[in-house]
């Protein structure tokens, strides 16, 4: 069994990465082969809206998207994680989502992503109100839904601005590990 985790924060060692690592440790403990894709390290061009993919099912750009999408094709579990930047997913995440247009299920010429995958989403923010994180989850749910990946597990953390904030709330990392176990229960 395989899991791929898409990290939307540009910070490879930030809060979102720390929470994702807690989830991944549980997946790996259960023998699930897991990989984190750091969008901040990936070479991904902006979607230019040329719509060539409507006709061909393929993007005219050849960058890291092919490598990332092959991981998603092969995965049983897809975890998408982003901090809130101005009340939404990060620019890196939005850029990635836009470039998934050739795989969108309203494109008749797409290469369909195999069904039966389990989707999970993680949103983190500095502010206290959960509603903003729910908006991020809705963005991720909309995205995954168009790839025929149902969003089955949702996790948010509020009030985390710095790494020190997270370090001072170990219960949140325990909650993240429990979230990992919840995903495992679903797929095994």
Ligand X SMILES: Cc1cc2nc3c(=O)[nH]c(=O)nc-3n(C[C@H](O)[C@H](O)[C@H](O)COP(=O)(O)O)c2cc1C
Question: Under the criterion CB under 6 A, does residue 127 sit at the interface with ligand X?
Answer: yes
Is residue 39 within 8 A of residue 98, CB to CB? The reply is no
Of 4, 14, 92, 117, which one interacts with ligand X (CB under 6 A)?
A: 14
Cβ proximity to ligand X: between 149 and 160 the closer is: 160
Q: Which residue is nearest to ligand X (CB)?
A: 14
Least CB distance to ligand X at residue 9 (A): 3
CA–CA distances in Å: residue 154 to residues 38, 112, 151, 173? 20, 24, 8, 15
* Two structure tokens written together for 121: 């989403």
Cβ proximity to ligand X: between 27 and 93 the closer is: 93
Cβ proximity to ligand X: between 15 and 107 the closer is: 15
Question: Under the criterion CB under 6 A, does residue 86 sit at the interface with ligand X?
Answer: yes
Q: Which spans in 30-105 are helix H?
A: 52-56, 65-74, 91-99
Q: What is the DSSP string of 20-44?
A: HHHHHHHHHHTT-EEEEEEGGGS--
Least CB distance to ligand X at residue 132 (A): 6
Residue 114: its H or E element: none
Cβ-Cβ contacts under 8 Å for 8 (sequence gap 6 or more): 16, 39, 80, 81, 82, 83, 89, 90, 92, 93, 96
* Two structure tokens written together for 10: 């540009």
Least CB distance to ligand X at residue 175 (A): 15
Cβ proximity to ligand X: between 39 and 97 the closer is: 39
Cβ proximity to ligand X: between 30 and 156 the closer is: 156
Of 55, 131, 142, 161, which one interacts with ligand X (CB under 6 A)?
A: 161
Cβ neighbours around 51 below 10 Å, total: 11
Kindly write out the interface string for residues 15-44 of this chain, putting x where it contacts ligand X by CB under 6 A and - elsewhere: xxx---------------------------
Cβ proximity to ligand X: between 17 and 53 the closer is: 17
CA distance 39 to 92: 6
Q: Which residues bind ligand X (CB under 6 A)?
A: 9, 11, 14-17, 83-87, 124-127, 132, 160-161
């Amino acid at each position: 069994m395989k899991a791929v985790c898409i990290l939307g924060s540009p910070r490879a060692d930030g809060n979102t990465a720390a929470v994702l690592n807690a989830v991944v440790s549980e997946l790996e403990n259960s023998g699930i082969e897991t990989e984190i894709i750091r969008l901040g390290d990936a070479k991904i061009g902006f979607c230019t809206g040329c719509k060539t993919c409507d006709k061909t099912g393929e993007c005219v750009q050849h960058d890291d998207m092919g490598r990332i999408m092959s991981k998603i094709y092969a995965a049983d579990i897809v975890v998408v994680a982003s901090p809130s930047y101005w009340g939404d997913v990060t620019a890196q995440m939005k850029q990635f989502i836009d470039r998934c247009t050739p795989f969108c299920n309203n494109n008749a010429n797409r290469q369909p992503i195999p069904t039966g995958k389990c989707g999970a989403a993680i949103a983190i923010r500095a502010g206290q109100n959960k509603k903003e994180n729910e908006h991020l989850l809705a963005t991720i749910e909309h995205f995954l839904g168009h790839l025929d990946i149902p969003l089955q597990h949702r996790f948010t953390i509020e009030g985390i601005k710095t790494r020190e904030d997270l370090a001072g709330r170990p219960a949140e990392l325990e909650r993240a590990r429990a979230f990992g176990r919840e995903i495992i229960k679903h797929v095994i």
